[in-house]
Amino acid sequence: MKDTYLDLVNGPFKQVAKTLGLPRPVRLQRFDSTPEHYLSAPVLVLGTSPGAQRIADRLLDNGFEVRRHPGSGESLRAVIAVFDDAGVPGDLSATALEIGASLRTLLPCARVITVSPAPRPEDQDPAPAAAAQAVTGLTRSLAHEMRIGGTANGILLDGVDVDAASVTAALWFLLSGKSAYVSGQFLTVSSAAGEEIGAREFLATGGSGPLAGRTAVVTGAARGIGAAIARTLARDGAGIVGVDMPQAGQALAGVMNEVGGRTLQLDITADSAAERIAEAAGSEVDILVHNAGITRDRLLANMDASRWDSVLAVNLESQARINAALGERNLFARGSQVVALASTSGIAGNRGQTNYAASKAGVIGLTAASAREFAQRSGTINAVAPGFIETDMTAKMPALTRQVARRLASLQQGGLPVDVAEAIAFLASAPARGINGSTLRVCGQNMVGA
Query: Among all residues, which ones are annotated catalytic?
Result: 356
In whole angstroms, the minimum distance from the beta carbon of 118 to ligand NAI comes to: 25
**441 near ligand NAI (CB under 6 A):** no
235 membership: H or E segment, kind and range: helix 224-235
Q: Which of 252, 258, 245 is nearest to 318 (CA)?
A: 245
HSE, side-chain direction, 13 A CA sphere, residue 73: 0
What is d(CA 236, CA 422) in angstroms, rounded to the nearest whole number? 10
Q: Quick one: 55 or 428, whose CB is closer to ligand NAI?
A: 428
Query: Under the criterion CB under 6 A, does residue 347 sit at the interface with ligand NAI?
Result: no
By the 8 A CB rule, do 355 and 308 touch? yes
Q: Which of 56, 76, 92, 268 binds ligand NAI (CB under 6 A)?
A: 268
Q: CB nearer to ligand NAI: give 219 or 336.
A: 219
Q: Does residue 219 interact with ligand NAI by CB under 6 A?
A: yes
- Dihedral angle over CA of 325, 330, 331, 334, nearest 10: 130
Tell me the site size for ligand NAI, rule CB under 6 A.
28
Stretch that binds ligand NAI, among 43-51, 131-139, 187-195, 224-232 (CB under 6 A): 224-232
Q: Which amino acid is at 113?
A: I
- Applying CB under 6 A, which part among 127-135, 184-192, 205-213, 244-252 lies near ligand NAI? 244-252
261 binds ligand NAI (CB under 6 A): no
178 is an interface residue for ligand NAI by CB under 6 A = no
Of the residues 223, 231, 307, 406, which one makes contact with ligand NAI according to CB under 6 A: 223
Rounded CA gap, 114 and 24, in Å?
26
Taking CB under 6 A as the binding criterion, the range among 91-99, 163-171, 203-211, 287-295 that sits at the site for ligand NAI is 287-295
Stretch that binds ligand NAI, among 12-20, 36-44, 58-66, 389-397 (CB under 6 A): 389-397
Of 151, 291, 412, 413, the one binding ligand NAI (CB under 6 A) is 291
Nearest residue (CB) to ligand NAI, 268 versus 411: 268
Q: Is 317 in the site for ligand NAI (CB under 6 A)?
A: no
22 to each of 8, 151, 310, 408, 412, how far by Cα in Å? 12, 20, 41, 12, 11
CB 68 within 8 A of CB 109: no
Which lies closer to ligand NAI via its Cβ, residue 42 or residue 346?
346
Rounded distance, CA 350 to CA 295, Å? Answer: 12
- As measured in angstroms, the least distance from the Cβ of 88 to ligand NAI is 39
Helix (H) or strand (E) segment spanning residue 418: helix 417-427
Question: Judged by CB under 6 A, does residue 242 bind ligand NAI?
Answer: no
- Between β-strands 76-82 and 106-117, what pairing exists: parallel, antiparallel or unpaired? parallel
Q: Please report how close the Cβ of residue 421 comes to ligand NAI at its closest, in angstroms.
A: 10
- Strand-pairing partners, residue 437, are none
- Nearest alpha-carbon partner for 420 in 450, 443, 447, 397: 443
Closest CA to 289 of 297, 301, 277: 277
Instruction: Give the interface with ligand NAI as residue ranges (CB under 6 A).
Output: 219-220, 222-226, 243-245, 248, 267-269, 291-294, 314, 341, 343, 386, 388-389, 391-394
